[in-house]
């Protein structure tokens, strides 16, 4: 691909501003641009023109259908295709796209979970156009669809999706941060502040041949059996290694498809684990970035398919090696192009910078439970706390330089000395922070952004960013309330920083997050270690969450309860599906293969002893094999029994806890027996590809 064709391809499948310009008059275009930028209402006539322009473009691109594209409460994205074509009176077809169809869609929402927000008799849900994320064309093997990003709400306006709350959280952080920065300088030209994100997407790539041979991968996205091979990632020889030909051509095609969708990869490389890779897009507005991350995941999967590969987005497809995360790089940008998380050049800017960093640190501490909850899924539970994934204790890492600045500000000093320190600190121009990587930190300050490393690779980043936005907005709001009437802004800023840091610096930690010492230390600081999802999800329905989200009109109590219920139920469903898949693989494949080997050993022993040859080795092997076969049988029985009793538990939370404590326990035990046997049974008898078979295909 040369640079010219690259720039021609960029955004080719997006109804972006340059496309709009071509399909609308200058006057229409500038009116629409104003509406989109300022979130205003469309009048009917302009709406018709806009829908006509979009239709003309989409048909020219070869699309015959359009769909409202949204993110329901579980699953990735949803779409229902509607045709542009209608029969005309003369046996022909006409193309129509009524503007009402652009703005609002009615969808039978009964097949989407609502967590009690809708009763079955009011099954309808409405999709409403989110014109801040441009429409785009999605290519299927033989057709193209115009996708219109929408939010999804019930008839009384409750959100049934992940995007509507995200949009509302953007408004909250915009309003509150504007207030704060205007206190520092009300002559600035800033009219809008928005979070920016760049979500690094990790994934595994394996051959379709191997994938098809393993039910666990096909049904659950991860291996439920498999012993660790002798050589995996110990030598780190895969990280940033040469990207093999097959993978390189896959990545090229991914780049190309993403280019058309207006998404530029900033980096792409091998990750530490075998068969693991990463793609990081250029950062941008959080709303668009969230949609784009969904498209990145869809594209990775679709292109892999074309290359006879399978892209695994599961957080922990393989035991004993690194899992996949979605490092959510988050910052705040102004419409004048300023990054509010960059150190300023003047004392005024530096005071503002330190205050905003203080707000973020305080927000992470104050709302750590909610941030932890935003990453809680059955699949991410398998990844957290090990193999380069952050631990389950939330902490933040800001690097020594920045920590040093705060330490200087906070140190016990006389009033007079305090003023001098602040003055010096603010005047000091620090161009570079030592933000060395701390792979074990859930929240790391990197150059000019915070990297939240806890979210899992398969989830939408809508929820964690909604929470991050609102948590920070709330802190900034608290600060703005205090500073709005300040007579001496610098003194008050310093006092505020000192006060907040004294309360919240317990969240700062620069050491090894996996160490036993940190567990102890965190406990003594009063930080929680929330190890599993059923525990973590409760944060959504705590009074603190209800009051935070209702204050900014993000989620009502009912909406929060619905999220809690859906997520809690999903935890149980996923674990149940895994348990059933394991049982089936153990009964149909693994046990028969092991019995076959055991029979062979018995025969061999008989034959040898018939010839008066000692069969000590065979006997020892047989003993080991039989022990594990008995273990498999016993654990199958126990798992069946526990599944039966767990499914009967009515209370959703108690049921999930039983899945966590009972079902997973027997699944682990069953796996252990099978994995022991995998190391004994000859390759030609073992019924599924091993980790080595899968990795060596790399
Ligand atoms: P790492 O070295 O941590 O793996 P990468 O280069 O892979 O980092 O990815 C960094 C990500 O951070 C990219 O997606 C990049 O676009 C994003 N990023 C950079 N600056 C910002 C910012 N100001 N706001 C949000 N994201 C950013
Ligand atoms: Mg990276």
More confident residue, 426 or 267: 267
DSSP-derived 3-state class of residue 87: strand
Please report which confidence band the pLDDT of residue 141 belongs to, taking 50, 70 and 90 as the band edges: confident
- pLDDT tens digits along 342-365: 987 776 778 899 999 999 999 999
Ligand 1 atom index nearest CA of 437: 3
Mean pLDDT over all residues of the chain?
90
* 401 pLDDT more than 50: yes
Give me the half-sphere count of Cα atoms (radius 13 Å) on the Cβ side of residue 660: 21
Ligand 1 atom index nearest CA of 447: 20
Does ligand 1 lie within 6 Å of residue 283's CB atom? yes
* Helices assigned H by DSSP within 185-244: 208-212, 215-220
Which pLDDT score is estimated for 57? 96
Counted residue by residue, the chain has a size of 698
Residue nearest to atom 5 of ligand 1 (CA): 280
Please report which confidence band the pLDDT of residue 240 belongs to, taking 50, 70 and 90 as the band edges: very low
Mean pLDDT computed over 369-398: 95
Instruction: Tally Cβ neighbours within 10 Å of residue 495.
Output: 15
Q: Which of 254, 247, 264 is nearest to 302 (CA)?
A: 254
Ligand 2 centre to CA of 455 (Å) is 14
- pLDDT tens digits along 78-132: 877 888 888 887 778 888 888 888 888 877 666 666 777 765 455 678 889 998 8
Tell me the angle at which helices 557-584 and 616-647 cross, rounded to the nearest 10 degrees: 150
Which pLDDT score is estimated for 235? 47
Q: Compute the CA torsion angle 537, 543, 547, 550 (nearest 10 deg).
A: 60
Q: Which of 14, 77, 69 is nearest to 460 (CA)?
A: 77
* 184 pLDDT more than 50: yes
Give me the half-sphere count of Cα atoms (radius 13 Å) on the Cβ side of residue 50: 28
**Helix, strand, coil abundance in the chain, percent, nearest 5:** 50, 15, 30
- C-alpha distance from residue 396 to each of 30, 201, 506, 539 (Å): 44, 21, 9, 19
Does ligand 1 lie within 6 Å of residue 448's CB atom? yes
Does ligand 1 lie within 6 Å of residue 340's CB atom? no
- C-alpha distance from residue 135 to each of 24, 115, 153 (Å): 15, 29, 19
Ligand 1 atom index nearest CA of 446: 3
**What is the C-alpha to C-alpha distance for residues 65 and 208, in angstroms, rounded to an integer?**
30
Q: Which ligand gives the minimal distance to the CA of 285?
A: 1
- 649-675 as b/e, with b when 16 or more CB fall inside 10 Å? eeebbebbbbbbebbbebbebbbbbbb
Does ligand 1 lie within 6 Å of residue 342's CB atom? no
Classify 447 in phi/psi space as left (phi over 0), alpha (psi -120 to 50) or beta.
left
Contact 350, 366 (CB under 8 A): no
* 209 pLDDT more than 70: yes
Pocket mutation for ligand 1, best pick of 195, 268, 280 (most atoms within 8 Å of C-beta): 280
**What is the C-alpha to C-alpha distance for residues 130 and 58, in angstroms, rounded to an integer?**
18
The helix (run of H) or strand (run of E) holding residue 108 is strand 104-108
Quote the tokens at residue 345.
């050049």
Ligand 1 atom index nearest CA of 333: 23
Backbone angles phi, psi at 83, to 5 degrees: -85, 145
Mean pLDDT computed over 223-251: 72
Ligand 1 atom index nearest CA of 330: 25
Hunting for tokens 């409460």 — which residue is that? Answer: 73
Contact 577, 676 (CB under 8 A): no
**What is the C-alpha to C-alpha distance for residues 364 and 394, in angstroms, rounded to an integer?**
8
Quote the tokens at residue 202.
């990790």
* Helices assigned H by DSSP within 450-556: 462-483, 489-504, 516-524, 533-536, 543-551
Instruction: Tally Cβ neighbours within 10 Å of residue 550.
Output: 14
* Helices assigned H by DSSP within 611-696: 616-647, 652-658, 664-678, 691-696
Ligand 1 centre to CA of 61 (Å) is 32
Does ligand 1 lie within 6 Å of residue 203's CB atom? no
Ligand 1 centre to CA of 360 (Å) is 18
DSSP-derived 3-state class of residue 81: strand
Hunting for tokens 């933040």 — which residue is that? Answer: 396
Ligand 2 centre to CA of 200 (Å) is 6
- Specify the pairing of strand 265-270 against strand 326-334: unpaired
Quote the tokens at residue 62.
């070869």
* 423 pLDDT more than 70: no
Pocket mutation for ligand 1, best pick of 194, 269, 279, 283 (most atoms within 8 Å of C-beta): 283
Of the given ranges (124-138, 161-175, 543-557, 662-676), which has the lowest mean pLDDT? 124-138
Ligand 2 centre to CA of 435 (Å) is 15
Which pLDDT score is estimated for 178? 97
Pocket mutation for ligand 1, best pick of 200, 442, 465 (most atoms within 8 Å of C-beta): 200
Ligand 1 atom index nearest CA of 280: 14
DSSP-derived 3-state class of residue 33: helix
Does ligand 1 lie within 6 Å of residue 271's CB atom? no
CA dihedral for 260, 261, 262, 268, sign (positive or negative)? negative
Pocket mutation for ligand 1, best pick of 266, 285, 339 (most atoms within 8 Å of C-beta): 266
Mean pLDDT computed over 615-623: 96
Mean pLDDT computed over 541-569: 96
Instruction: Tally Cβ neighbours within 10 Å of residue 307.
Output: 18
Quote the tokens at residue 61.
């691109």
Q: Which of 391, 379, 512 is nearest to 454 (CA)?
A: 391
Which pLDDT score is estimated for 435? 53
Ligand 1 centre to CA of 375 (Å) is 19
**What is the C-alpha to C-alpha distance for residues 22 and 583, in angstroms, rounded to an integer?**
59
**What is the C-alpha to C-alpha distance for residues 351 and 611, in angstroms, rounded to an integer?**
89
Ligand 1 centre to CA of 283 (Å) is 7
- pLDDT tens digits along 641-678: 999 999 999 999 999 999 999 999 999 999 999 999 99
In sequence order, what are the residues at sequence separation of 6 or more whose Cβ sits closer than 8 angstroms to the Cβ of residue 8? none
- Specify the pairing of strand 93-95 against strand 193-207: unpaired
Ligand 2 centre to CA of 269 (Å) is 8
Does ligand 1 lie within 6 Å of residue 453's CB atom? no
Residue nearest to atom 21 of ligand 1 (CA): 283
* 391 pLDDT more than 80: yes
Ligand 2 centre to CA of 437 (Å) is 11
More confident residue, 20 or 440: 20
- 106-145 as b/e, with b when 16 or more CB fall inside 10 Å? ebebeebbbbebbeeeebebbbbbbbbbbbbbbbeeeebb
Mean pLDDT computed over 181-185: 92
Please report which confidence band the pLDDT of residue 434 belongs to, taking 50, 70 and 90 as the band edges: low
Does ligand 1 lie within 6 Å of residue 286's CB atom? no
Ligand 1 centre to CA of 329 (Å) is 6
Does ligand 1 lie within 6 Å of residue 445's CB atom? no
Does ligand 1 lie within 6 Å of residue 502's CB atom? no
Mean pLDDT computed over 194-210: 96
Ligand 2 centre to CA of 202 (Å) is 8
More confident residue, 149 or 37: 149
Which pLDDT score is estimated for 225? 98
Q: Which ligand gives the minimal distance to the CA of 339?
A: 1
**What is the C-alpha to C-alpha distance for residues 536 and 567, in angstroms, rounded to an integer?**
11
State the pTM of this model: 0.94
More confident residue, 14 or 9: 14
Does ligand 1 lie within 6 Å of residue 221's CB atom? no
Which pLDDT score is estimated for 417? 60
Percentage of the chain modeled with pLDDT above 70? 91
Does ligand 1 lie within 6 Å of residue 198's CB atom? yes
Residue 118 Cα to chain centre, angstroms:
26
Contact 408, 386 (CB under 8 A): no
**What is the C-alpha to C-alpha distance for residues 11 and 262, in angstroms, rounded to an integer?**
4
Mean pLDDT computed over 177-188: 92
**What is the C-alpha to C-alpha distance for residues 674 and 223, in angstroms, rounded to an integer?**
12
Mean pLDDT computed over 422-440: 58
Ligand 1 centre to CA of 113 (Å) is 33
**What pairs with residue 444 in β-bridges?**
397, 451
The helix (run of H) or strand (run of E) holding residue 107 is strand 104-108
């Amino acid at each position: 691909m040369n640079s010219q064709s690259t720039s021609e391809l960029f955004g080719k499948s997006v109804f972006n501003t340059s496309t709009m310009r071509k399909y609308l008059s200058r006057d229409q275009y500038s009116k629409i641009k104003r509406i989109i930028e300022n979130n205003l209402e469309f009048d009917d006539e302009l709406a018709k023109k806009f829908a006509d322009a979009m239709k003309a473009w989409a048909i020219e691109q070869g699309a015959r259908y359009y769909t409202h594209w949204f993110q329901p409460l579980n699953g990735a994205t949803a779409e229902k295709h509607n045709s542009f074509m209608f029969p005309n009176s003369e046996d022909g077809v006409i193309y129509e796209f009524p503007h009402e169809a652009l703005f609002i869609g009615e969808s039978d929402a009964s097949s989407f979970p609502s967590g009690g927000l809708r009763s079955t008799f009011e099954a309808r849900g409405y999709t409403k156009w989110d014109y801040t994320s441009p429409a785009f064309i999605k290519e299927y093997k033989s057709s193209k669809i115009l996708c219109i990003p929408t939010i999804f709400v019930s008839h009384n306006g409750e959100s049934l999706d992940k995007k509507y709350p995200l949009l509302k959280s953007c408004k909250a952080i915009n309003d509150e941060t504007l207030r704060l920065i205007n206190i520092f300088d009300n002559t600035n030209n800033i009219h809008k502040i928005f979070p920016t994100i760049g979500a690094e997407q990790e994934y595994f790539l394996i051959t379709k041949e191997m994938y098809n041979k393993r039910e666990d991968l096909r049904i659950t996205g991860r291996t439920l059996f498999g012993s660790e091979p002798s050589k995996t990632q110990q030598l780190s020889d895969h990280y940033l290694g040469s990207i093999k030909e097959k993978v390189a051509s896959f990545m090229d095609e991914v780049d190309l498809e993403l280019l058309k969708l207006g998404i530029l990869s900033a980096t792409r490389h091998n990750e530490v684990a075998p068969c693991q890779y990463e793609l990081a897009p250029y950062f941008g507005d959080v709303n668009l970035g969230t949609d784009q991350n969904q498209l990145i995941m869809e594209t990775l999967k679709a292109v892999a398919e074309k290359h006879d590969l399978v892209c695994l987005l599961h957080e922990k497809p393989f035991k004993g090696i690194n899992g996949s995360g979605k490092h959510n790089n988050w910052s705040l940008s102004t419409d004048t192009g300023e990054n509010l998380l960059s150190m300023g050049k003047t004392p005024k800017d530096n005071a503002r910078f330190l205050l905003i960093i203080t707000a973020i640190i305080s927000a992470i501490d104050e709302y750590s439970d909610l941030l932890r909850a935003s990453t809680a899924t059955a699949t991410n539970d398998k990844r957290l706390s090990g193999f380069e994934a952050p631990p389950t204790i939330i902490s933040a890492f800001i690097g020594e330089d920045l920590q040093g600045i705060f330490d200087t500000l906070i140190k016990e000093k006389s009033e007079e000395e305090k003023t001098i320190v602040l003055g010096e600190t603010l005047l000091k121009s620090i161009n570079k922070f030592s933000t060395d990587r701390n792979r074990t930190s859930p929240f790391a300050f990197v150059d000019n952004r915070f990297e939240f490393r806890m979210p899992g690779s398969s989830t939408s980043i809508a929820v964690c960013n909604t929470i991050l936005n609102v948590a920070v907005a709330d802190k900034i709001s608290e600060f703005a309330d205090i500073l709005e009437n300040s007579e001496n802004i610098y003194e008050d800023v310093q006092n505020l920083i000192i006060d907040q840091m004294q309360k919240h610096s317990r969240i700062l930690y620069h050491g090894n997050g996996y160490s036993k010492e940190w567990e102890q230390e965190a406990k003594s600081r009063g930080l929680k270690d929330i190890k599993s999802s059923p525990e973590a999800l409760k944060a959504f329905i705590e009074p603190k969450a209800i009051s935070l989200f209702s204050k900014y009109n993000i989620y009502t109590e009912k909406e929060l309860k619905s999220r809690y219920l859906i997520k809690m139920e999903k935890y149980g469903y996923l674990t149940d599906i895994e348990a059933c898949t394991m049982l089936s693989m153990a009964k149909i494949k693994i046990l028969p293969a092991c019995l076959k080997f055991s029979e062979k050993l018995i025969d061999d022993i008989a034959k040898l002893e018939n010839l008066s040859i000692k069969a000590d080795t065979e006997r020892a092997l047989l003993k080991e094999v039989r022990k594990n076969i008995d273990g498999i049988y016993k654990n199958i029985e126990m798992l069946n029994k526990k599944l039966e009793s767990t499914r009967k538990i009515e209370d959703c939370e108690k049921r999930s806890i039983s899945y966590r404590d009972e079902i997973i326990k027997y699944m682990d035990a069953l796996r252990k027996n099978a994995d022991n046997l995998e190391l004994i049974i000859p390759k030609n008898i073992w019924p599924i590809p091993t980790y080595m078979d899968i990795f060596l295909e790399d």
